[in-house]
Amino acid sequence: MAESRWRPGDPVDWERPGELWTAGGLHAFVVETTGARTGSTRRAILGYLEDGPGAWLVIASKGGAPTNPAWVYNIAAEPSTTIVMADGTRVPATGKRLSGVEEEQAWARIAEEAPEFVAYRAKTKRQIPIIRLRAA
């Protein structure tokens, strides 16, 4: 019998998460940030698009909710993050919010490769941040 694929809401082994996916089908990984208020390690499962060698785009859609996910504020306060790959490899990375032309180009790419995120934009009045994580 084939092993079932992980789905959002299923339990995760944070140290060796295995293959993760968003509800829309994007590959996902675990991103560890430092809590902006607490200073504690926080973990989130984030879908990503590869953005060249050692770089990934993550979209702070929160399903089109009216507020940003907490990890956006964490990265703004402390850009140093750790990406945990499927096999448990830990990649130190730095996060930067895109703006201007970079953000426009990213949204054009997202519209082609992950159109569900464009639908989330229509559900909310907030500007959905796009963060580039780059291996440190």
In a domain, 36, yes or no: yes
State in Å, rounded, how far the first CA of the chain is from the last one: 41
DSSP assignment of 51-66, as one string?
-STTEEEEE--GGG-S
In a domain, 1, yes or no: no
For 110, the domain range is 20-135
Strand extents, DSSP E, 1-136: 20-21, 27-34, 41-50, 55-59, 80-84, 90-97, 130-135
| Per-residue model confidence (pLDDT) at position 3 | 53
CA distance 84 to 92: 9
Global pTM reads: 0.89
In a domain, 25, yes or no: yes
In a domain, 3, yes or no: no
Report the chain (136 residues): mean pLDDT per 10 consecutive residues: 63 84 85 97 96 97 95 98 95 98 97 92 94 97
Tokens encoding 66? 């009216």
Number of domains making up the chain: 1
CATH of the domain at 108: 2.30.110.10
In a domain, 10, yes or no: no
CA distance 51 to 123: 26
Task: Decide: helix, strand or coil at residue 50.
Answer: strand
Cα 111 to Cα 30, 71, 78, 96: the distances in Å are: 23, 23, 29, 21
| Per-residue model confidence (pLDDT) at position 21 | 79
| Per-residue model confidence (pLDDT) at position 2 | 46
| Per-residue model confidence (pLDDT) at position 1 | 39
In a domain, 56, yes or no: yes
In a domain, 15, yes or no: no
